[in-house]
Amino acid sequence: MLETKRKWTDINSLWVMLGLILFTIDGHSQVKTSVDSTAIKIGEELIYNIELEVDSSSVVVFPKGQSFGALELIEDYKTDTLVKDFKVKLLKKYGLTQFDSGIYTIPAQKVLIGEKVFYSDSVSVEINAVMIDTAKQNLYGIKPIIAVEKQSSFWNAFKWIFGMLLAAGIAIWYFFFYAKKTLSDAEQLAKLPPYEQAKLALNKLNEKTSYENETIKVFYSELTLVLRKYLNAKVYDQSLESTTEELLEKLYSLKRAEEFVFKDETLKNIETTLKRADLVKFAKSKPQFEIMRMDKQIIAQEIDQVRAGLPKPSEIELQQTLEYQKGLRKRKKQQQFKWAGITLFTLFLLTFLCFGFYFGFNTLKDTVLRHPSKLLLENNWVSSEYGAPGIRIESPKVLLRDFGDSTAVKGSDLDIKKFYLGEHSAALRLIVKSTKLNKQRNNENDAVDVLKIAKNELLFLGQMGASNILPKNEEFTTPNGQKGLKTYGNANFIFKDKLSNAEFVILGFSAKIFLQQLILIWDAEDPYATQISERILSSVELNDQTQN
């Protein structure tokens, strides 16, 4: 009996464990879906909820990206988490909207729990149009396009640097060539002729102050220096370094040679004053105040006498002196221009190197020379929809409307809208076409043959100037899930009268009576044109053609 009871106990335990396992698996599969409203207005936000309950150790991956059919994802909210009894309750919210009225179905969303995949229920929502009372609300025409000044960060920095260089140039011109420099007393004295220098220096000597302050030695040193400087400039160019005896001997020899007209009294007075100055400086002699004043008057008087005895310069000497002064002024001005040029060149070189290392020298060159493709890339890009049904792309400029057509299949039953990028200076060509068949086909499920159309567009590229075209075909899917044919490859194309190695892409999308195309060709060796083409191709989106 005991053994039988134990067997029944074991069997009951197994059933309980099996029940717990099934309950856990069933709990994993409980993915609930809800919306805050089943009817919203155009552009209004719709909250889409995914709710589930899992073990705390389970890894859950919710849907990401544009996976909600025709509705656009505008906000991906953070996941709310509630932990209770070793279970985790997760609530994931998405903000959705739509800008076209109609009834739409949000498809079942895939949720990954661990290694298992679960699907939520699909939800139907209604998008209502906004009613406008035209009797109360006035209608106005479409405003024209307003030109906006385009700027880039590089050009802003370049303008600042150019402004600083210009300010530096103006400052150099002002201080070196225009402004009158404020000279010190020594500089003003040095610019005077020797006679005026001597007179000004004598006037500054004060014998009374020197006598009272017992600076007699300094007084006589400055007094004889004034005389020696004048003689050095006008009579004997070694007067400053000669001794008193050597200087007097030279003056007497010049008088005897009749090179200068000196009076005997003048030479005797000069000799007396110089020898007295030597006694003061070397023998510590202290003459009286009256003798100091007399020596100063004698030096001033004898400088006048020496000046009167100087030979008058000839016209040739005067002319040579003028030419010499002109040469000095010219050399000084050349030196100023030289330093100004060196300064400006150094500033320019440093600016060029800084910009080159920061932005790259090729980028700097293309910016300074205003590379057309670079200017187009740095333009304010525009996202717009072209045609009906529309094909939305992002482009550097708004595409222009063209009423011509390149498709080989023409006729009155076709409604073709063609747009192109009106920028021919850059090494890139862009065309967007939207075609609608006005007459219904026999079988509405038959789409337009995009491969045949792509072949016709290759012929159109040849008419535009392309040669040596090597095409390939593959499937292309837009970010919003629309599939089409991509024809791409290499070719030779003429950009601005120059044959270049080019790449091209032809995108074709068709459904029922609609055909949408994008034709893009660019210079493969132009990095800016390549970046433009990549950005355009990554932005291609189509409206769901099944709704039109």
Map out the domains of the chain as residue ranges.
24-128, 185-309, 372-547
The amino acid that residue 165 corresponds to is L
Q: Which tokens in the block code for residue 33?
A: 């879906």
- The full 3-state SS of 454-516, as one line of letters, equals HHHHHHHHHHHCCEEEEEEEEEEECCCCCEEEEEEEEEEEEECCEEEEEEEEEEEEEECCEEE
Q: What's the order of all strands across the beta sheet hosting 116-119?
A: 60-61, 110-113, 116-119
Is 533 in contact with 522 (CB distance < 8 Å)? yes
Tell me the Ramachandran region of residue 53: left when phi exceeds 0, alpha when psi lies from -120 to 50, beta otherwise: beta
Nearest to 260 by CA among 315, 303, 309, 195: 309
Note whether 24-128 and 372-547 share their fold.
Answer: no
CA atoms of 472 and 485, how far apart (whole Å): 10
Rounded to 10 deg, the angle between the 315-359 and 153-173 helix axes is: 160
CATH no. for 24-128: 2.60.40.10
Query: Are 71 and 100 spatial neighbours (Cβ–Cβ below 8 Å)?
Result: no
In tens digits, what is the pLDDT along the chain, a chain of 548 residues?
445 444 445 555 554 454 444 444 444 447 889 999 889 988 899 999 999 888 877 888 888 888 888 888 988 898 888 887 778 888 889 999 988 888 999 998 888 888 888 888 889 999 888 776 666 666 667 777 877 665 555 566 666 676 777 777 777 766 665 555 555 566 666 667 788 888 888 888 888 787 777 788 888 888 888 888 888 888 888 888 888 888 888 888 888 877 777 788 888 888 888 888 888 888 888 888 888 888 888 888 888 888 877 777 666 655 656 676 777 778 878 887 787 778 777 777 777 677 666 666 666 666 666 678 888 888 888 888 887 777 888 888 888 887 665 444 444 566 778 888 877 778 888 888 888 776 655 555 555 677 887 888 888 888 888 888 888 888 888 877 788 888 999 999 888 778 888 999 998 888 777 788 899 999 888 888 899 999 898 888 886 554 44
Q: For 289-318, what is the HEC assignment? A: HHHHHHHHHHHHHHHHHHHHHCCCCCHHHH
Angle between helices 153-173 and 361-368 (to 10 degrees): 80
Helix (H, G, I), strand (E, B) or coil at 417: strand
Rounded Cα distance between 291 and 172, Å, is 54
SS3 245: helix
pTM of the model: 0.41
> What is the fold, at CATH topology level, of the domain defined by 372-547?
Protein Transport Mog1p; Chain A (3.40.1000)
